[in-house]
C-alpha cells in the first residue's frame, strides 16, 4: 500500500500521482495497474476533468435512533466527486483515465492515497483549503441511504488558473475529456466555457455533466456531448421534464442551436433519451434484479460506461445503452460504491430501444 501527498507536503507521493506540471513523481506501479495501462494504450483513452473532489465515507447503522447514540460501522472509504468517480469506473471497466483534481490538507493527502490504491492515474493541483469529506449514511433496516455533502474548498484565482492549465496539459492525445460534477468555489462561472474552448483547440472532445451557471456557460461555447438529469434539464427548459417527449424537445433544441453534438437526457426509472443529428433514441431502463438502495452514484456510473464505450469505438446509442445498464447496476449499491460489473453486463441486454426521426420541434 503506497502513501501519497500533495506537492510540498511531507509524506511520499503515490505511484499514480503527477503534479500539475505533468511530472510523474512515483516509483513503482502494481501489476494490475500496469495491466490496465496496457489496455489503455490500445486506444481506450479518456481524461476526466477537474471537479470538486471529496473523500466519501460510507457508514452503516442498523436503525437510525432519534435519541441516543447511533453505533455505526464503516462500509467503505473512497475517493469521490463526479470526475473522480467517473475516472474510477472507467478504470474498472478496462479503460484508461487520468483524473485532474484539487487536493488540500490532510484530506487531500488521503484522497491521493486512495486514488493510488485503486490504480487511477491522477494529476493533483495543490490548494490552500482542505479537500472536503462527504458522508453516506446507510440504514440497513429501511435500506435507505442519506448522502450528506458539505461545501467544498474555495479556490484563489491563481489556483483556478493552475487547475485549468493542468487540465489542458493532461489532455495530451486523449480523444475525450469529461467535465463531471460541481466546480470548486471561487472559480468563475465561465470556467467550463473557457475549458471547452481550450479543449477543442487541443484537439479533444468535451463530454459535459454538470449543473448551474457552469452548465449554461459551457453550452454557449458548445460541447461534444451533454449528459443531464431531470433536474438539470428542467433548469434549462424552465419547466418540468417528465418523460421522453419533454426530453426530446430539449435535446432537439440543444443540437439545433449547436450547444451539443450529442444530447443524453436521463429520466430516472424511465431510462434515457440519446439524441444526435440523425434522430432520437429512447432507451428504457431494465428491470432491477433487487431493491434499489441509492441513486448517489448512478449518474457517474452512466457517464463512465458511456465514455468508455465511445472511446472503444461504439456508436452513441450503443454507448448510452451501456450507460443506462451501469446506472441501473449502481442503484443496487448503498452509496457511491462501485457497481457490480457482471450485473451491469447482464442488464445491458435488457435495455430496450426505440428510434424516432419525426420529433416535433418546440421552442425552449
Residue 42 to residue 33: CA distance in whole angstroms: 15
Q: Where are the alpha helices (DSSP H) in 82-223?
A: 82-92, 105-117, 157-171, 191-201, 213-221
Interior/surface letters 283-317, b for 16+ CB within 10 angstroms, e for the rest: bbbbebeeeebbebbbbbbbbbbbbbbbbbeeebb
Q: Give 43-94 pLDDT, tens digit per residue.
A: 345 655 566 899 999 899 999 988 889 999 998 899 999 899 999 999 999 9
Q: Give 162-221 pLDDT, tens digit per residue.
A: 999 999 888 887 899 998 887 788 888 888 899 999 999 999 999 999 888 888 888 989
Residue with cell 424537445: 249
**The three grid cell numbers given for residue 274, joined into one nine-digit string:** 440519446
For residues 18 and 246, which has the higher predicted lDDT (pLDDT)?
A: 246
Residue 327 to residue 360: CA distance in whole angstroms: 28
**The three grid cell numbers given for residue 326, joined into one nine-digit string:** 451501469
Q: Give 104-138 pLDDT, tens digit per residue.
A: 999 999 999 999 999 999 999 999 999 999 998 88
Asked if 88 contacts 72 with a C-beta cutoff of 8 angstroms, the reply is no
For residues 35 and 100, which has the higher predicted lDDT (pLDDT)?
A: 100
pTM: 0.84
- Residue 49 is predicted with a pLDDT of 57
Q: Give 318-329 pLDDT, tens digit per residue.
A: 999 999 999 999
- Residue 194 is predicted with a pLDDT of 92
DSSP of 64-102: --SSS----EEEEEEEESHHHHHHHHHHHTT-EEEEEEE
Q: Give 277-298 pLDDT, tens digit per residue.
A: 999 999 999 999 998 888 888 9
- Residue 42 is predicted with a pLDDT of 30
Q: Give 134-162 pLDDT, tens digit per residue.
A: 998 889 898 888 889 898 899 999 999 99
Q: What are the distances in angstroms from CA 225 to CA 141, 159, 206, 275, 319?
A: 40, 27, 7, 10, 12
Nearest C-alpha neighbor of 143 from the set 344, 356, 334:
334
Q: What are the distances in angstroms from CA 241 to CA 151, 231, 237, 266?
A: 28, 8, 8, 10
Determine phi and psi for 282, rounding to 5 degrees. -80, 130
Residue 234 to residue 243: CA distance in whole angstroms: 12
**The three grid cell numbers given for residue 11, joined into one nine-digit string:** 509524506
Residue 184 to residue 192: CA distance in whole angstroms: 12
- Residue 147 is predicted with a pLDDT of 86
> Which residues, 6+ apart, have CB-to-CB distance to 56 below 8 Å?
76, 77, 78, 79, 80, 133, 134, 135, 136, 335, 336
- Residue 196 is predicted with a pLDDT of 92
**What is the length of the chain?**
364
Give the pLDDT band of residue 34 (cuts 50, 70, 90): very low
Question: Residue 30: is its pLDDT beyond 60?
Answer: no
> Using the 8-state DSSP alphabet, how is residue 24 labeled?
B
Amino acid at each position: 500500500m503506497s502513501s501519497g501527498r500533495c506537492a510540498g507536503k511531507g509524506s511520499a507521493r503515490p505511484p499514480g500521482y503527477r503534479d500539475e506540471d505533468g511530472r510523474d513523481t512515483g516509483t513503482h506501479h502494481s501489476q494490475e495497474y500496469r495491466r490496465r495501462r496496457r489496455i489503455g494504450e490500445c486506444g481506450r483513452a479518456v481524461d476526466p476533468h477537474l471537479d470538486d473532489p471529496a473523500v466519501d465515507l460510507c457508514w452503516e447503522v442498523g436503525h437510525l435512533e432519534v435519541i441516543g447514540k447511533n453505533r455505526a460501522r464503516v462500509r467503505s472509504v473512497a475517493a469521490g466527486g463526479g470526475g473522480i468517480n467517473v475516472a474510477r469506473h472507467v478504470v474498472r471497466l478496462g479503460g484508461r483515465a487520468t483524473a485532474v483534481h484539487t487536493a488540500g490538507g490532510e484530506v487531500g493527502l488521503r484522497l491521493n492515497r486512495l486514488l493510488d490504491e485503486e490504480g487511477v492515474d491522477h494529476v493533483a493541483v495543490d490548494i490552500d483549503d482542505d479537500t472536503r469529506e462527504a458522508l453516506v449514511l446507510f440504514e440497513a433496516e429501511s435500506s435507505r441511504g442519506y448522502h450528506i455533502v458539505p461545501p467544498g474548498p474555495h479556490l484563489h484565482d491563481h489556483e483556478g488558473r493552475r487547475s485549468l492549465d493542468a487540465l489542458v496539459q493532461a489532455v495530451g492525445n486523449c480523444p475525450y475529456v469529461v467535465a463531471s460534477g460541481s466546480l470548486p468555489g471561487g472559480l468563475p462561472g465561465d470556467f467550463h466555457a473557457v475549458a471547452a474552448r481550450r479543449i477543442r483547440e487541443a484537439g479533444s472532445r468535451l463530454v459535459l455533466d454538470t449543473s448551474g451557471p457552469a452548465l449554461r456557460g459551457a453550452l454557449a461555447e458548445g460541447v461534444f456531448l451533454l449528459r443531464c438529469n431531470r433536474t438539470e434539464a428542467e433548469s434549462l427548459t424552465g419547466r418540468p421534464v417528465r418523460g421522453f417527449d419533454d426530453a426530446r424537445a430539449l435535446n432537439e433544441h440543444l443540437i439545433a442551436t449547436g450547444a451539443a453534438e450529442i444530447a443524453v437526457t436521463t429520466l430516472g426509472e424511465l431510462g434515457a433519451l440519446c439524441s444526435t443529428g440523425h434522430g432520437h433514441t429512447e432507451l428504457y431502463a431494465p428491470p432491477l434484479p433487487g431493491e434499489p438502495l441509492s441513486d448517489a452514484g448512478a449518474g457517474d456510473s452512466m457517464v463512465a460506461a458511456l465514455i468508455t464505450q465511445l472511446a472503444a469505438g461504439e456508436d452513441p446509442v450503443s454507448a448510452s445503452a451501456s450507460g443506462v445498464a451501469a446506472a441501473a447496476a449502481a442503484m443496487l449499491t448503498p452509496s457511491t460504491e462501485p457497481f457490480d460489473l457482471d450485473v451491469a453486463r447482464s442488464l445491458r441486454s435488457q435495455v430496450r430501444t426505440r428510434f424516432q426521426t419525426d420529433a416535433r420541434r418546440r421552442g425552449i
